[in-house]
Structure 1
């Protein structure tokens, strides 16, 4: 395994670092000021469009897509250090580069499983950053960490499918630019194989019977930058049968194909979040005095900073190894490592950010620093794409199987 960056990755990395310094970090307070003046809190601040235009001009667009026909054609290993950099400003940078979830996963689904007509209608405007999208899988009435539990019904009625069900924490759905949902529901609820009961369907947001009911808060935040996390109800919404993605019964497999890259992308960005926290922690330590001495002279602070550096370096190596395996043996061959990073990364990054919050005192939980919002985002990722315990269960069973 060789994790050294090749010439292309290094060139993109330098370009991205300059973009972050010159445009993204200065835009953070601007976006907050502009949002306060918007007619709706879900509208996008004008500075975001400026960032997108600048990112495209610099060739920093759709970096996440390994298919060169649609994206930059980077491998997972090449994309990892770039995604990490965007994680330092997770509420602006990924969107600016058109590399933000849930659009990334939805674009991957359409590129891999969509028909030519579906790609022309939905993938192309998503690739161009003209629209946003949402992925409707999680439900409030069942344990959605087990996707076989999903109760939303997708029923065939002549030349149409009828969707009935209730979803929540549907990321991006509050954004007025969100035009399309990828909905996971059951087309064959009595099917013998519980993993062949589900299908995926494209449902335009303006379809009659689609109700975006409310925004769900995450640790008190409404997360305007990501377009919110909505509760969405489908009241017998009808779409043509050609809106089916893949085949009936293929929804579970498509979901698994979608979640693998999504999980590693989250982990890549989480490392960037931890790096931002370490930077803020160090700056605070050398600039703040307590009890007659700089915080940087306190032994406990030394331990926090040292432990954070060690933890982040360990995580980065594990994420890079996982990226390399996904590139060389495929997602299935990297299954253990994908689960390992999904368990280890959010948990560790939450701890790193928490120490940074502690070092900042009251400032750490305030809006004057990004730490509280970073903490909430990282803590949420211990649940998103499957809670820790589901991955621990699966990983342990795989280990035990070798000794049974």
Structure 2
């Protein structure tokens, strides 16, 4: 494995770093004010649309898609350092580049499993940034960490599917431009193979029987920039049979195909969040005085900063190795490493952010610094895309198998 970035990655890194310095960081406070003034809290602040136009003009658009027909054609190893940079401003930068979840994963699924008609109707406007989307998998009444528990029913009725069920924490569903939900449910609840019971269908948000019931908060935050996290009820919502994504019974496999890249993208951005935290820690330590001297002269503060640097370097190497393996041997061949980064990265970054909050005192838990919101995001990622314990269970089982 070569740790040096290739010429294209270096070129994009330079362009993205300049974009962040010149446009994204200066827009953070403006976006916050605009959001507070908006009548529709779920609409994207106008400054974000300006950032999107500038990103497109600079060629920083759809960087996450490896298929050159739809995106930049970058490998995972090439995209990793770019996603890290966007993680330094996770509310604005990913959306500005059209690289924000859940749209990224949904575009990947449509590109890989969608029919020509589905790609034309939904993928093309998503690629252009004209619409938003949601992925409806998690349910409140079952342990969704085991995807075979999904209870939403998708019943075939002639030339249509009828969807009935209740989902929650459905990211993006509250955005006024969210037009499509990819819904996972059971088409054959009695299939002998529990991993062949599920399917996915495309449900337009304006379908009769689809109710966006309420926003779900995450540690008190509503994540307006990404269209919130909604509780959604499907009451016999009827869609054409042509809205089936992939094959009937293929929903579990499609979900796994979506979550692999999603997990590494989250970890890439988390490293950027940690870098932002270290930078803020250093600035605070050098400019804040307590007991007659700068905080930077306190031994415990220096330990926090040094430990954070060591941790970030370790995490980055593991994420880059995982990206390289995904490129060279595929997602299945990188399964162990994907699970390892999913366990290690959110946990470690949340700890770094916690120290950064501590160093900032009362300011660290307020709105004048991004640390509290970054911590909430990092802590939540210990649950999103599978909780730590599920990945630990699977990874340990694989390790034990080697010794039997």
1:10 aligned onto 2:14: no
1:120 aligned onto 2:120: yes
Q: Equivalent residue for 2:305?
A: 305
Q: Equivalent residue for 1:134?
A: 134
Structure 1 segment 34-113 matched on structure 2, within 5 A: 34-113=34-113
Displacement after TM superposition at 1:237 (Å): 0.1
Displacement after TM superposition at 1:37 (Å): 1.3
Q: Equivalent residue for 2:204?
A: 204
1:151 aligned onto 2:151: yes
Structure 1 segment 3-402 matched on structure 2, within 5 A: 3-402=3-402
Q: Report SS of the residue matched to 1:189.
A: coil
Mind listing any 5+ residue stretches in structure 1 that lack a counterpart? none
Question: What CA distance in whole angstroms lies between the structure 2 residues aligned with 1:37 and 1:222?
Answer: 16
Q: Report SS of the residue matched to 1:231.
A: strand
Deviations 1:180-203 (A, max 9, x none): 000000000011000000000000
Question: What CA distance in whole angstroms lies between the structure 2 residues aligned with 1:210 and 1:78?
Answer: 39
Q: Report SS of the residue matched to 1:321.
A: helix
Displacement after TM superposition at 1:39 (Å): 1.0
Question: What CA distance in whole angstroms lies between the structure 2 residues aligned with 1:348 and 1:44?
Answer: 31
Asked if structure 2 preserves the Cα contact closer than 8 Å seen for 1:363 and 1:369, the reply is yes
Question: What CA distance in whole angstroms lies between the structure 2 residues aligned with 1:253 and 1:96?
Answer: 30
Question: What CA distance in whole angstroms lies between the structure 2 residues aligned with 1:32 and 1:101?
Answer: 20
Q: Number of paired residues?
A: 404
Q: Report SS of the residue matched to 1:342.
A: helix
Question: What CA distance in whole angstroms lies between the structure 1 residues aligned with 2:179 and 2:282?
Answer: 42
Displacement after TM superposition at 1:226 (Å): 1.2
Asked if structure 2 preserves the Cα contact closer than 8 Å seen for 1:3 and 1:77, the reply is no
Q: Report SS of the residue matched to 1:154.
A: strand
Displacement after TM superposition at 1:245 (Å): 0.5
Asked if structure 2 preserves the Cα contact closer than 8 Å seen for 1:102 and 1:133, the reply is yes
Displacement after TM superposition at 1:40 (Å): 1.2
Question: What CA distance in whole angstroms lies between the structure 2 residues aligned with 1:229 and 1:356?
Answer: 27
Asked if structure 1 preserves the Cα contact closer than 8 Å seen for 2:286 and 2:294, the reply is yes
Deviations 1:238-268 (A, max 9, x none): 0000000011000000000000000000000
Question: What CA distance in whole angstroms lies between the structure 2 residues aligned with 1:102 and 1:265?
Answer: 11
Q: Report SS of the residue matched to 1:296.
A: helix
Q: Report SS of the residue matched to 2:200.
A: strand
Question: What CA distance in whole angstroms lies between the structure 2 residues aligned with 1:36 and 1:339?
Answer: 38
Question: What CA distance in whole angstroms lies between the structure 1 residues aligned with 2:387 and 2:47?
Answer: 34
Asked if structure 1 preserves the Cα contact closer than 8 Å seen for 2:43 and 2:225, the reply is no
- TM-score by length of structure 2 reads 1.00
Question: What CA distance in whole angstroms lies between the structure 2 residues aligned with 1:43 and 1:318?
Answer: 36
Q: Report SS of the residue matched to 1:208.
A: coil
Deviations 1:22-43 (A, max 9, x none): 0000110000111111111111
Asked if structure 2 preserves the Cα contact closer than 8 Å seen for 1:209 and 1:235, the reply is yes
Displacement after TM superposition at 1:225 (Å): 1.1
Moved over 4 A (4+): none
Please give the root-mean-square deviation of Cα atoms over the aligned residues, in Å.
Answer: 0.4
Deviations 1:89-140 (A, max 9, x none): 0000000000000000000000000000000000000000000000000000
Displacement after TM superposition at 1:3 (Å): 1.9
Question: What CA distance in whole angstroms lies between the structure 2 residues aligned with 1:224 and 1:239?
Answer: 28
Asked if structure 2 preserves the Cα contact closer than 8 Å seen for 1:17 and 1:85, the reply is yes
